[in-house]
Amino acid sequence: MEIRLGTPQEMEQVWGEQFPQSTKRFFLQALRQGQAEFWTIEEDSRLIGELYLFFSLEDPDFAVPGDRAYLCAFRVIPEKQGRGYGTQLMRRVLKRARELGYREVSIGVEETSPQNLRMYRRMGFTRQVKICTQDPCDVNEQFHPVPCEPFMLLLKSLET
């Protein structure tokens, strides 16, 4: 098992055609401009999970350069879920945010995902910032956020 930074090319392979092209372009642009990092976890040379660390977004509740980072698109393939891979990936990316000097990290979670909510709370995401109806990383062709199902934006302090 290895946790590492992924490449934009790997991101394109992982995403394929399962997400809107505008959102895919938004992520790729953020990666190429240094506004985000793509973290992967792999086993036997196969990517089994991903997590994105955004450094800057238009909505400061999500990310503020140098102060608050946003974790987004956190996934582990279904057959590997519940085995601790997601926790390991999350810990590594939180460590990275700390290394970069961020004071806090935000993450979104749907109320209909109790397993994810439990994990995030266990990892220290204890403060609810707001209920959101737009995700700044799910965008249209003009890179404007599109409406989505409501989700909670949670916050974790990285200060000890």
pLDDT digits (tens, 9 = 90+) for 104-136: 999 999 988 888 999 999 999 999 999 999 999
- Amino acid at residue number 114: P
Predicted local confidence at residue 128, as pLDDT: 97
pTM exceeding the 0.75 threshold for the entire prediction = yes
Q: Where are the domains of the chain?
A: 2-157
**Distance (Å, whole) CA 160 – CA 38:** 25
**Distance (Å, whole) CA 120 – CA 109:** 9
Topology classification of domain 2-157: Aminopeptidase (3.40.630)
